[in-house]
A and B are shown apart, each in its own frame.
Chain A
Amino acid sequence: MSAPTYDVLIIGSGASGGMTAYNLTQKGLKCLMLDAGPPTDFDHDRVARHVYDLPYRGFGKPGRFPHVTQADEFNANAWADEKENPYTYDPGDPYYWVRVRRQGGKTLLWGRASWRLSDYEFKAKDHDGFGENWPISYSDLAPYYDQCEPLFHVSGRKEGLPQLPDGVFIEDTSTDSLSLTRFIQAAKKRGIPTTKPRRATGALASSVNLLLPAALATGNLTIVPNAVVRRLTVSKTNLINGADYIDRHSKRELHATARVVVVGASCLESTRILLNSGVANSSGVLGHYLFDQFYVKNTVQAIVPEALDGKGATNLMGGSGYIPRCVNLDTKKKDYIRGFSVDFGSGVTPNAKYFPLYGEALQKAIASHRGTGFDATTMGSVLPRFENFVSIDKTTTDAWGIPVLHIKARYTDNEFNMARDAMNMLDELCHDAGFEVLEKHDQMVPPGESIHELGTCRMGDNPKTSVLNKWNQSHDIKNLFVVDGSSFVVGGSQNPTLTILALAMRASDHMVLEMKAGNL
C-alpha cells in the first residue's frame, strides 16, 4: 500500500505547529500534522467536579509530578506523564521540564501573556556585547505580530515604550484600583514604567480553537493524533523526505512522506527529534544555548493596611499590572546585563503561611486580611550560554523506545544579581506605596519551571555558529524548518508565545514563496 505524499509535514499542534498549519493550508498547501498526544475534545476530556470528589482532595497523586509544580489534581491528566516521557539531568542541577502532550500542546494551559520582543532583544549583542544578535530585527517581525495579536484577541494598552513595542490590541480602558494607583505612582517617581497586562482573551485562546479549525476548514489539513515521531528520514539527495513515527497505543511503526518538513514539537522536543535523527548539526551547536526566563514567584508579598478588616474603600483593591524591563536601557547596572519584568496584582488574600499563627487566631487573621494582598512576581532574562545544553541520553528511552534528553542548565551570577536587584526594587516600591511587606525573597524556581525554555536550535546568519537561518530554515537541509522556541537567539524577559506565533507565521510565508519558486 502506498501512502500519500504531502506538501508539508508538520510535527506538533501547539502554537508553532498550529500557526504553520493555519497559514500554509490557507495558501493552498496540503499539510499532514503528526501530534504525539491524544486529540483534544473538551466535551469528552473535561467534567465539572467538586474538589472533595477527587481521589486526593486536590493534593494530587503523591509523587506523580515531581517537576510539574503547575499540576494540580484537576488538571493533572493534561500534563505529559513523566514516567512515559522521562528525561535526565545531573542530580546537582535539576531541570523542571514541563510538557503537554495532547492536541493543542501548551496553548491549552498557557498564561496568555502576549508581549512583543524589541530590538533590545533582537539586537542584544549590539547593546551589551554579550552573545549573538538575532539575524532579524524587530521591523522584520512586526508585521507578523500585527497579524497574530488580532487572531488571539490580545488586549492591552499602548504605551510607546521602545523596550515593549505596542501592538494591535483590544484596548484595555479599565481604571486602576486605588492601591494599584499608589504602586504605579511610586514606580513613576523612580522612572519605572508600568502598563496593563497584555493577554489573549476569550473563553479559550488555543491553537485548537483559533488556528486548527480554520486550517481544517480549507480541506488541506490532515491531523493525526497519537503519532510519536521517532526520527526524520533523509533522502539520497540530502533532503528530509519524511518521518518515522509510532502509534502511541499500539506502538506500530509507520512512515510519513512530504516535500517539506516543519518541526514545531515544542522547544526541547524539536531539538530531541533532530538530535535523534542525526541531522542539521554541521555547526555542532544543535542542543546548545539553552535558556529560559527565571521566575521569582511572589518576590514580595505585601498587604495594604487600609484594607484590613474590610474597611477599605470599595475601589481600594483589585486589578493587575506589569513592569516592563526598566534596567540596562540607557544606563548600565554594575553587576548584571539585560533585565527583568514584573507581574503585580492587588486584592488577593495572603496565604495562611504568612501568618505565624494557628487555630482560631489564624482564622481571625485570615478574615482580617481577606482581599488585602499585593504581590509581585519577577521574570528575568537568562543569558544564552553554550555550556547550557541538551544531548541524547542513550541509556534511557521513553515508553516508545526513543532515547530521551539529558538536560544541563544552571543559572549564573548574572541571573542571581538580577533577581536580588528586582527584589530590592519591589520592596522599595511597596514601602513607597505605603504597603506593609510580609515577606520578600530572591529565590528562583529551578531552570525550566517557567515553561519558557528557549534556544538549542538557534537562528543565525553564520552556519558555523547557528542551526537555522533567518527564515527558521536549516542551514544544512533546505527543506527542514524548525519554528518553535528552540529557534530563539535571545529571549528577554517577555513571555515568548506571541513571538513563537509570529516566527511560525513568517517562516511559513517564506516557505510558500520558496515552494512556488521551485526552490523547495
Chain B
Amino acid sequence: MRRRHFVGAIPFLTVSPELLSQFLAGQAIPKLDATATDVVGAPVTRFFAAPQFAALRRLSDLVLPSIGGAPGALEAGVPEFLDFLVGQSLLPTKTLYRNGLQTLNLRATAKFAKTFSVLEDTQADAILSPLHQSWTYKEPADPFAVFLRHAKADILTATSNSREWVTAAQKNRGGGGGNGTYWLPAE
C-alpha cells in the first residue's frame, strides 16, 4: 500500500496526454548518421579451409573478373561474402560447396599437378568444362557440375548486389539501381 502511494506521487504519471505530447514535441531527438558494419571492417573468413578458400577466390575471379574498370567478384568481396553465406546455410549447401571446391583442387592436382588457385586460365578452363554445357531445367547428375552451376549463379548475384558493383553502375548510368522496398520485421 505504501508503495502504491509512492508511485501515485510521481508527478509525470499525472500529466495529461496533451501536456505530455507538447513536452515531447519540444524535445526533438536528432537523427544520427551511422555507417554500415561492412564499410569500416574487413570480413573475417571462418568457414572454408584455406585451400578451399583459395580455390573459391580463383573461381570467383574467373566467373566474373574486373572488366573495363568495373568491379569484379574479387573487388566486390564475393569470396569473403560466400564464406559467410555458405557458413550460415543448411548442411546440403555447405556440403555442396566444400565438396565442389575440394574437387576443383583434386582435379587440378590430378591433371596439372597444381592446386586450382594457381592454374593458368586455359588449364582452369579444362577443369570448368561443365560450365560449357547447355543449361537444362533438370540438374546434372554430376555433383561437381551441380556445384559449378550454383557457384556461378551465386558469384554473379553476390557481385551485382554488392556495394561496389551498385555504386559503380550508378556512376556509369547516372541513375539508381539495386534498390528495393524492404519490409521491416513484424512487431
Give residues in A with beta carbon < 8 Å to B.
37-38, 44-54, 56-59, 61-63, 73-78, 102, 249, 352-360, 362-363, 438-439, 441, 443
Known A57-B81, A439-B135; judge A48-B157 contact (CB<8 A): no
The secondary structure that dominates the B interface is mixed
CA distance A77 to B184 in the complex (A): 6
Chain B residue at minimal CB-CB distance from A299: B137
CA distance A53 to B166 in the complex (A): 11
Known A353-B153, A356-B135, A357-B131; judge A48-B182 contact (CB<8 A): yes
**Chain A to chain B contacts (Cβ below 8 Å), 26 pairs:** A46-B182, A48-B179, A48-B181, A49-B179, A50-B166, A50-B178, A51-B166, A51-B178, A51-B179, A51-B180, A59-B157, A62-B93, A63-B89, A63-B90, A74-B180, A74-B182, A74-B183, A75-B181, A77-B184, A102-B186, A352-B153, A353-B135, A356-B131, A357-B131, A358-B152, A443-B138
Q: Does B146 contact A (CB under 8 A)?
A: no
CA distance A18 to B156 in the complex (A): 42
Which residues of the partner chain A approach B182 to less than 8 Å between Cβ atoms?
46-49, 54, 73-74
Which residues of the partner chain A approach B181 to less than 8 Å between Cβ atoms?
46-49, 74-75
Chain B residue at minimal CB-CB distance from A363: B67
Q: Which of B11-19, B58-66, B112-120 contacts A (4 or more CB under 8 A)?
A: B58-66
* A359-B63 in contact (CB<8A): yes
Known A359-B62, A359-B64; judge A439-B186 contact (CB<8 A): no
Q: Does B45 contact A (CB under 8 A)?
A: no
Q: Does B103 contact A (CB under 8 A)?
A: no
B170 to chain A, nearest CB (A): 10
* A354-B179 in contact (CB<8A): no
Which residues of the partner chain A approach B99 to less than 8 Å between Cβ atoms?
none
A to B contact number (C-beta, < 8 Å) = 119
CA distance A16 to B32 in the complex (A): 44
Q: Does B187 contact A (CB under 8 A)?
A: yes
* A75-B183 in contact (CB<8A): yes
CA distance A356 to B136 in the complex (A): 10
CA distance A354 to B162 in the complex (A): 23
Contact of B184 among A47, A57, A73 (CB under 8 A): A47
A53 to chain B, nearest CB (A): 6
Which residues of the partner chain A approach B22 to less than 8 Å between Cβ atoms?
none
Q: A354-B135, A358-B64, A359-B63 are in contact. List 11 more A-B contacts (CB 8 A).
A: A45-B184, A46-B181, A48-B180, A50-B178, A52-B163, A59-B157, A74-B183, A363-B64, A439-B134, A439-B136, A441-B136
Which residues of the partner chain B approach A249 to less than 8 Å between Cβ atoms?
187
Which residues of the partner chain B approach A52 to less than 8 Å between Cβ atoms?
161-163, 166, 178
A208 to chain B, nearest CB (A): 14
Among A37, A56, A443: residue with most chain B CB under 10 A = A56
Which residues of the partner chain B approach A439 to less than 8 Å between Cβ atoms?
134-137
A437 to chain B, nearest CB (A): 11
Q: Does B128 contact A (CB under 8 A)?
A: yes
* A50-B133 in contact (CB<8A): no
Known A52-B166, A62-B85, A353-B149; judge A77-B183 contact (CB<8 A): yes
Interface residues on B, range: 35 or more
Chain B residue at minimal CB-CB distance from A443: B137
Chain A residue at minimal CB-CB distance from B66: A360
Return the CB mask of B147-187 against A: 1 if under 8 Å, else 0: 00100111011100111001000000000001111111111
* A59-B85 in contact (CB<8A): yes
Q: Does B88 contact A (CB under 8 A)?
A: yes
* A62-B89 in contact (CB<8A): yes
Which residues of the partner chain B approach A357 to less than 8 Å between Cβ atoms?
131-132
Which residues of the partner chain B approach A102 to less than 8 Å between Cβ atoms?
186
Which residues of the partner chain A approach B184 to less than 8 Å between Cβ atoms?
44-47, 77
Known A63-B89, A439-B135, A443-B137; judge A360-B67 contact (CB<8 A): yes
CA distance A357 to B129 in the complex (A): 10
Give the 6 A-B CB pairs with smallest separation, nearest first.
A441-B137, A62-B89, A52-B163, A49-B182, A74-B180, A77-B183
Q: Does B36 contact A (CB under 8 A)?
A: yes
B136 to chain A, nearest CB (A): 7
Which residues of the partner chain B approach A438 to less than 8 Å between Cβ atoms?
135
Which residues of the partner chain B approach A46 to less than 8 Å between Cβ atoms?
181-184
Which residues of the partner chain B approach A63 to less than 8 Å between Cβ atoms?
89-90
A406 to chain B, nearest CB (A): 23
Chain A residue at minimal CB-CB distance from B187: A38
Chain A residue at minimal CB-CB distance from B63: A358
Which residues of the partner chain B approach A50 to less than 8 Å between Cβ atoms?
163, 166, 178-179
Which residues of the partner chain B approach A353 to less than 8 Å between Cβ atoms?
135, 149, 152-153
Chain A residue at minimal CB-CB distance from B92: A63
Known A62-B89, A77-B185, A77-B186; judge A356-B132 contact (CB<8 A): yes
* A356-B178 in contact (CB<8A): no
Chain B residue at minimal CB-CB distance from A77: B183
* A352-B183 in contact (CB<8A): no
A451 to chain B, nearest CB (A): 17
Which residues of the partner chain B approach A57 to less than 8 Å between Cβ atoms?
81, 85, 157-158, 161-162
Which residues of the partner chain A approach B154 to less than 8 Å between Cβ atoms?
59
B172 to chain A, nearest CB (A): 13
CA distance A56 to B135 in the complex (A): 26
CA distance A51 to B149 in the complex (A): 23
Chain B residue at minimal CB-CB distance from A49: B182
B180 to chain A, nearest CB (A): 4
